[in-house]
């Protein structure tokens, strides 16, 4: 080897990935360390990732951040982006969105696709900078064109929802397709939704099912509920209640509230499974506890019919899975007014921390969890709504209530049910006294 740092780094990669030799993460760490000590910036970045992942070495976020910093100081653009993620998440360094933004910005302008995608995320979420969907779209475009798979998926989302650009489902299909080829399971699921509904492409339920299956195989359990719906409705597959039940059962176990409600209805009707009103009630309860209003109504109707059903079940609802919305997002929360408990929580937070607190995403939700520890589903929905960029609309002095309502509804209408959006708008309208 003659101490050549480039060769040492390459050998480390071979051991890490099992290229031509049996994989050995400890040997990978050893060779990355040797190369890093000899000044190889790529090895410094690779060594940092090993410490971050706990791969071949004990996990140590502080050491990971340190090696990312060393590599960044040697001009490694990927390391700059990775260090930006450390500051964004607070792993190994104090959380600092401003530093994260600066690092992503530097990496992006040096041509790093990961830096571009990170910078786009910061503009989209208004972290470390003023929120700008137009700027987010610009950087997603550059990153996607450079081959970044996550950016391709996010660019598809921009076109899909009309965020930062005009809505264009044809372009959404194009970019979701590229991301799906790259293995992004969210893009696969979202592409299935577009084919199922004939948006941006001819309606093709067979291809929709294909993409739902691909997403599931890639680990996206949210797509299971979509596939279950296809089996239940006979869309793209032969109608099969037993298969629909199996899909809902797996999705419900992974924490999908819609699937919990669907599973309850299958048990109630005896579709695809032997009728069991106790289990129907149990799954309705689980879904209702996650905020699915229709499940609450189904449970009330079941109990009102006079069936002998226990008032409390033994099955605990799984932790709710968080992911991009599926084809039929759950009726997670219901319309609101000034007496809504969620409105009270938001008002209390703004009274104690100021009306602009919703622009500090991480801090706002940390406070929200303290003030309303039981409102887990409301937090999940609000986090998603904030990710679509509604915070600036909520507090903007440029728009009246009608315009704010229109802007927020347009951003959320594709992925959330109307009654969910109505509650979100109602809560913020009441809490912020829109005029």
Domains of the chain, residue spans = 221-304, 341-432
**Token match 């069936």: residue?**
307
Distance CA 63, CA 86 (A): 11
Angle at 346 between CA 344 and CA 349, to 5 degrees: 110
Ranges of residues in the chain with a pLDDT under 70 are 1-2, 308, 310-340, 413-418
Closest-CA residue to 156 (of 127, 189, 125, 128): 189
**Options 1.25.40.10, 3.30.428.10, 3.90.79.10, 1.10.10.60; which CATH number does 221-304 get?**
1.25.40.10
The pLDDT score that the predictor gives to residue 202 is: 96
Angle at 91 between CA 89 and CA 97, to 5 degrees: 35
The pLDDT score that the predictor gives to residue 413 is: 65
Distance CA 114, CA 84 (A): 10
The pLDDT score that the predictor gives to residue 221 is: 81
Distance CA 194, CA 29 (A): 44
Tens-digit pLDDT profile for residues 306-325: 776 766 544 444 544 443 33
Distance CA 17, CA 15 (A): 6
The pLDDT score that the predictor gives to residue 430 is: 81
């Amino acid at each position: 080897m003659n101490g050549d740092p480039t060769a040492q780094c390459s050998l480390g990669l071979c051991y890490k990935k099992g290229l031509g030799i049996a994989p050995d993460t400890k040997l990978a760490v050893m060779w990355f360390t040797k190369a890093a000590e000899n000044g190889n910036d790529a090895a410094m970045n690779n060594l940092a990732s090993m410490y971050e992942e706990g791969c071949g070495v004990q996990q140590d976020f502080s050491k990971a951040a340190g090696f990312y910093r060393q590599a960044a100081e040697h001009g490694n653009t990927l390391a700059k982006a990775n260090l930006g993620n450390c500051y964004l998440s607070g792993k190994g360094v104090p959380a600092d969105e401003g530093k994260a933004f600066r690092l992503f910005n530097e990496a992006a302008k040096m041509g790093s696709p990961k830096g571009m995608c990170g910078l786009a995320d910061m503009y989209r979420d208004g972290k470390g900078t003023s929120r700008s969907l137009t700027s987010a779209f610009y950087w997603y475009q550059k990153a996607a064109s450079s081959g970044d798979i996550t950016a391709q998926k996010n660019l598809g989302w921009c076109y899909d929802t009309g965020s930062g650009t005009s809505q264009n489902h044809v372009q959404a299909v194009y970019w979701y397709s590229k991301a799906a080829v790259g293995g992004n399971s969210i893009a696969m699921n979202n592409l299935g939704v577009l084919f199922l509904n004939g948006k941006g492409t001819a309606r093709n339920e067979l291809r929709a099912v294909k993409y739902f299956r691909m997403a599931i195989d890639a680990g996206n359990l949210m797509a299971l509920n979509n596939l279950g719906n296809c089996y239940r409705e006979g869309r793209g597959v032969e109608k099969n209640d037993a298969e629909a039940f199996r899909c809902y059962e797996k999705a419900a176990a992974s924490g999908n509230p819609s699937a919990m409600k669907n599973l309850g209805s299958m048990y109630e009707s005896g579709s695809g499974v032997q009728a069991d009103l106790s289990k129907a009630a149990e799954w309705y309860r689980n879904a209702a506890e996650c905020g699915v209003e229709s499940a609450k109504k189904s449970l009330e109707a079941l109990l009102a019919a006079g069936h002998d059903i226990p008032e409390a079940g033994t099955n605990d609802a799984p932790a709710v899975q968080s992911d991009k919305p599926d084809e039929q997002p759950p009726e997670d929360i219901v319309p609101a007014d000034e007496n809504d408990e969620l409105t009270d929580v938001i008002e209390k937070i703004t009274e104690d921390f100021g009306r602009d607190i919703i622009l500090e995403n991480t801090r706002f939700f940390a406070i929200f969890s303290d003030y309303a520890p039981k409102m887990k589903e409301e937090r999940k929905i609000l986090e998603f709504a904030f990710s679509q960029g509604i915070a600036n609309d909520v507090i903007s002095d440029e728009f009246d209530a009608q315009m704010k309502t229109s802007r927020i509804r347009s951003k959320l209408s594709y992925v959330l049910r109307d009654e969910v959006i109505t509650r979100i708008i109602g809560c913020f309208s009441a809490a912020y006294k829109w005029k």
